[in-house]
Amino acid sequence: MLKIVTIVGARPQFVKAAVLSRVVGKHKDVEEILVHTGQHYDHNMSDVFFEEMEIPKPAYNLDVNGMGHGAMTGQMLEKIEGVLEREKPDWVLVYGDTNSTIAGALAAKKMHIKVAHVEAGLRSFNMEMPEEVNRILTDRISDILFVPTDTAVRNLMNEGYANIDAKIVQSGDVMQDASHFYAQHSESKAKLPIEKRSGDFVLCTLHRAENTDNPKRLAAIVAALNELHKTIRVLVPIHPRTRKLLESNNLQLNVDLVDPVGYFDMIELLKHCKIVLTDSGGLQKEAYFFQKHCVTMRDETEWVELVEHGYNVLAGADTALILSSTQEMMSKSSDFSNPLYGDSKAGEKILEALQNFEK
């Protein structure tokens, strides 16, 4: 019996982990124990969330949240260690780049338990981002690195991983698996009124601290969105924190604002929008999964292959550049059949590699 402890700490990680959980459910000789650190408290993660998303409920909820990076990571280490002592797994599996990711990897490594990192090899090359620190350190102490793209492989090779005792497996992207799975159910489960997700509109998200915490950048983005909304509807599911920062900076966002939406609603918006404007990492990829061009309001991206192939463009927080890039991308025609993120079988490849791993 192969035993895996999966560490997650935020709603997007549950969606990613569900890809592997569905595969594990088909194998009687594999057991998965799901651990929620509690890093991001989310009132939407009710019983309904797990039922609708077909996600197994966590066996452990460590309830670690609402504190600084050091205190949070330290408490997670302590509590994850207790779980690992009880469960004695063959593998600890971590996703992405959160504090939960590095805490799970560290706890396992110090207990001589093998570590698998899904979404390995991603780099923004911005060490001021806590996520960049987390992903680099997690990669370095992992036994197997599941990378989503050719770019991720190159990043690891450039960092000397040809001479590091870690196995690199190009599995493809678990979020592509998830997007294609949930797209089959999104129309019947979406809650947003149909008029919000129909007609020509731009889907925009704005939440990253480098934009919202910088009054100059925030003002420039607001100016671009307001101007764009004069010619095409701009729909923004707005985070409460972003809303508060707009108010404190006396900025008026004159677009179609809605409360934050669930995953099924976001898929429906992606299906029907004209183009995506975002400062999110994941939404850049999801735009591609649903064959939509994207304008990214950041100065760098982890998903450079989208930029290299012309599906995405970096516009930073420059009002004129956001507007011109949006106009250019809305009139652009692209072939989205390029398999940049694998063949939607990442879950199967991950489990097969764990089962057949030899150090």
The per-residue pLDDT for 25 is 94
CB-CB contact of 7 with 104 (8 Å)? yes
Assess whether pLDDT exceeds 80 at residue 183: yes
209 vs 330 pLDDT, higher one: 330
The per-residue pLDDT for 313 is 98
List the structure tokens of 63. Answer: 């309830």
Nearest to 3 by CA among 33, 28, 26: 33
Q: Dump pLDDT digits (tens) for 161-180.
A: 999 999 999 999 999 999 99
Q: Give residues with Cβ within 8 angstroms of 339, minimum separation 6.
A: none
The per-residue pLDDT for 45 is 62
Identify the helix (H) or strand (E) that includes residue 89: none
| Candidate from 76-80, 127-131, 230-234 with smallest mean pLDDT | 127-131
54 vs 206 pLDDT, higher one: 206
Nearest to 345 by CA among 143, 172, 139: 172
CB-CB contact of 354 with 20 (8 Å)? no
The per-residue pLDDT for 46 is 61
List the structure tokens of 183. Answer: 């797209």
Mean pLDDT value of segment 82-96: 98
C-alpha–C-alpha distance, residues 289 and 286, integer Å: 5
Q: Dump pLDDT digits (tens) for 275-324.
A: 999 999 889 999 999 999 999 999 999 899 999 999 999 999 999 999 99
The per-residue pLDDT for 126 is 87
Nearest to 93 by CA among 57, 58, 145, 48: 145
Domains located in the chain, CATH noted: 2-173+342-355 (3.40.50.2000), 186-330 (3.40.50.2000)
C-alpha–C-alpha distance, residues 310 and 294, integer Å: 9
Assess whether pLDDT exceeds 90 at residue 140: yes
Q: Average pLDDT over the chain, rounded to whole?
A: 94
Q: Dump pLDDT digits (tens) for 7-45.
A: 999 888 999 999 999 999 999 999 999 999 998 766 566
CA atoms within 13 A on the CB side of 185: 11
Catalytic positions are 207
By DSSP bridging, strand 294-296 and strand 275-278 are parallel
Q: Give residues with Cβ within 8 angstroms of 271, minimum separation 6.
A: 183, 186, 197, 290
Instruction: Report residue 343's pLDDT band, with 50, 70 and 90 as the boundaries.
Output: very high
C-alpha–C-alpha distance, residues 149 and 170, integer Å: 7
The per-residue pLDDT for 42 is 65
The per-residue pLDDT for 41 is 66
Whose structure tokens read 């059949």?
337
The per-residue pLDDT for 273 is 98
Instruction: Report residue 359's pLDDT band, with 50, 70 and 90 as the boundaries.
Output: low
Q: Give residues with Cβ within 8 angstroms of 225, minimum separation 6.
A: 204, 206, 234, 236, 253, 255, 277, 322
The per-residue pLDDT for 11 is 83
CA atoms within 13 A on the CB side of 187: 5
C-alpha–C-alpha distance, residues 125 and 146, integer Å: 19
